[in-house]
Structure 1
């Protein structure tokens, strides 16, 4: 189903997890393309600094603090944004973490990761759907990861959260289509952000947040369900996940041993 593509004149863009990394870069890219962008994260001072950096761009950035792990925060943030700046036409649910893990299965890290990457995303998704559904128009993009395509060594928390986010987006697309809401999935590879700089693992085809933001914003303007990059890595990972399990485990295990990978 082809749904209308949202333009800056249709309303506001809203981005969660926008205080650094991909969220920050996408906010600036959308402001460059003429959007009014409402950005959300826990630290208001960081958001306000990003908003100041948009001075002189065709669009603008406005800061609204909020924590995706707070059950009532997303609804309150959306109500404030829409009452002050107008309807949200485009939402990019980007907030995510990848904490270091201890042991085979660090349950504390697992629960924190699921709380932000999956439950937090679902809270934002539910709240913005409640606003868009009566209007029967809007565009929502959920940021997952290539790491969600299949099991990877050391990614028990992060990979599970992103795999579940992919599944959630795929599942909801059918109902969103019927309600005139465009739902889109963003699956990046390695991007040079504060999150990835803490990881001591090989990062093939890593790209700058600015280049990632351009690809994401370009994807928003196209008709596809999935925005995934770099293509060399995403296509390779998709192909590997078509293999029978014995071949898959052998290939991923061999690659992990050669690179010395311990955690994603």
Structure 2
């Protein structure tokens, strides 16, 4: 079933990836550039963005901190002055292990600001223009960590669950407006964030592999793009279990 207009031809399309200095965001920016898109990349790491632009002729760097609402507004104005925006993707993320036994309010709020509020700031910056042009696509990177509560994910998981709900509601609200919405829920991808993990990560894939899965999902017009399916299907089944069975399964699987 196709939920969105199918995005197959990126030649001449303008795309903005927020959180593209490394990992999935950078790999997706690379794939879109290779497919002929006009690529704008944003992140805090201006040096990494400059390196990307240098190796991707025509790409434009718009360095910013996603927790700075005004910076996102200003960057959006710069981008929109060049013409219509065809895709805005929020791929910024922050992750630190945290359990309730070591509750840290500052960490909780930091996760919320980067992982969730930053997405809201992006919507605030681009949604009026997309509604006016009656076209475009919004894509939010969440995680299978948002499917259900997991040990050591006290700060990270709830922000990803919020993005899932946000994307679902955006889709319902925007379906008749000409604007597509997609939700990306990766499993374990080899990025600076997952490099912190001290446990074995099943079905670990590379950022370029993740980027190809995302482009494939856009090409099919999917709403939820989840991968690798040999892992994410099991996480979806886990989410459907009654709480007693689910909690027992999570504790058994994680040994926590």
Q: Into which bin does the TM-score normalised by the smaller protein fall?
A: over 0.9
User: 2-side partners of 1:8 and 1:189: how far apart?
Assistant: 26
1 CA distance for matches of 2:6 and 2:125? Answer: 21
User: Per-residue displacement from partner, 1:174-196 (whole Å, max 9, x unpaired)?
Assistant: 11112110011000010001111
For 2:102, what is the secondary structure of its paired residue? coil
Give yes or no for contact 2:97–2:153 (8 Å, CA) kept in 1. no
What is the aligned partner in structure 2 of residue 101 from structure 1? 98
Is 1:91–2:88 an aligned residue pair?
A: yes
Alignment of 1:5-154 (within 5 A): 5-6=6-7, 7-9=9-11, 11-55=13-57, 60-83=58-81, 85-101=82-98, 103-154=101-152
State the match for 1:230 in structure 2: 228
Q: Once the two structures are superposed, what CA deviation does each residue of 1:100-124 show, in whole Å capped at 9, x if it has no partner?
A: 4374322111100010100111111
What's the counterpart of residue 204 of structure 1? Answer: 202
Check the 8 A contact 1:5/1:139 in 2, yes or no.
Answer: no
Q: CA deviation at 1:53?
A: 1.9
Normalising by structure 1, report the TM-score. 0.91
Shift, 1:126, TM fit: 2.5
Give the aligned CA root-mean-square deviation in angstroms. 1.6
| Residues 97, 155 of structure 2: 8 Å contact kept | no
- The question of whether the paired residues in 1 share the 8 Å contact of 2:3 and 2:223 is answered with no
Deviation at 1:2, TM superposition (A): 5.4
Deviations 1:128-158 (A, max 9, x none): 1111001111111100001100001110111
- Report SS of the residue matched to 2:86: strand
- Cα deviations across residues 222-259 of structure 1 (Å, max 9, x unaligned)? 111110001111110111111111111111101111xx
Query: Gaps spanning 5+ residues in structure 1: where?
Result: none
Q: Find the residue that maps to 2:59 and give its secondary structure.
A: strand
Secondary structure of 1:202's aligned partner: coil
Question: Which deviates more, 10-19 or 108-117?
Answer: 10-19
1:167-182 → structure 2 map (5 Å cutoff): 167-182=165-180
Match of residue 4 from structure 1: 5
Structure 1 runs of 4+ with >4 Å offset? none
The answer on whether the counterparts of 2:44 and 2:65 sit within 8 Å (CA) in structure 1 is yes
More off after superposition, 172-181 vs 185-194 = 172-181
In 2, distance between residues paired with 1:20 and 1:11?
A: 22
Q: Aligned partners of 2:35, 2:203: CA distance in 1, in Å?
A: 26
Unaligned 5+ segments in structure 2 are none
